[in-house]
Amino acid sequence: DAAEIAEASAATFGGKIEALKMAKDLGLDVPEVPLDWYDKLEVLKAHPGETVEWTPPEEENAVYPILRCAQEIPCNPCATVCSKHSIEMEGDPILGRPVFSGPECTGCAKCVTICPGLAVTMVDKRKDPDRPVVTVAYEQGETPVEPDTMVLATDQDGNPVGNFRVIKVNRPKFADRTRLVRLETTPETCDLIAGIRTQDPAVTEPIETIPPGDIADDVIICRCEHVTAGEIRQSIREGTRDINEMKASLRVCMGACCGKNCPEHIDRLFRQEGIETGEVTPETKRPLFVEVPFGVFARGAKGEEA
């Protein structure tokens, strides 16, 4: 991530390369980085390709995955995990879009579990074509889903499709905190379902007032400089109404993020203390920056002597 902003797999693979290089520099007995790894990293960092409009498939199979990838990105785990090789990549083996080539599909749902974007669901009509079972990946561990309960299913845009009964919930052995939720649906809705919504809609509504003291004093507000809510509260109670003054005394908004993360939380603490936003002088905005190696300053401009 420090080297370049790219897709998550690029950060993971690039980190592996850098880790081997650092271990080598430290004198550890590690293998050399294979040259083809650098080529693979460039592929993983490739810019997204063309976006296409997703349409529901017209499948005649009794069981099949629905792949909602609408853009070419460096991602192919669904194709690599399919034991029947029924998912293929159109075009480039990494950058292409996955398609279900069939006809073999066992309904194992490994493609559903492994997709990092939760963009795959499984439709199974083998038991009862009039009541197809849809398998969706679910990763909200704090909101449990139980069999024989009704949940709201949504399409890929988050629009409600309908309420359906949960018939089974299981966690595959190879999954990391991912559960598979199986829903009893209808032939008209099975291809549209992309996920489920379990959270009470009321919690998404904005609150009129901020409860006092809902942020504990030991909570770190400015992560860059490790400034706690208690320290900021104390500064406010001592009369600080200018965040620039708070920057000088506590170093909030002075870290590597250039004050992009903590101002909203500081404003919240002011309001909790009964100080309206209009009474507070905002901080001076710092421009975005890019880290520059010292070697650039030592060598001067390219082609010039230092």
Supply angle C-alpha 41, 45, 49, rounded to 5: 135
pLDDT in tens, 159-178: 999 999 999 999 888 777 88
CA distance 206 to 222: 24
On whether the CB atoms of residues 116 and 77 are closer than 8 A, the answer is yes
User: pTM higher than 0.85, yes or no?
Assistant: no
Compute the Cα dihedral for 252, 257, 259, 262 and give only its sign: negative
Cα separation values, 228 from 136, 266, 271, 286, Å: 40, 10, 17, 21
DSSP secondary structure code for residue 149 in this structure: -
Point out the residues of the chain with pLDDT beneath 70.
1-3, 5, 7, 142, 209-213, 286-290, 299-306
pLDDT in tens, 255-297: 878 788 889 899 999 988 989 889 999 988 866 666 777 887 7
Give residue 202's pLDDT.
84
CA distance 263 to 137: 36
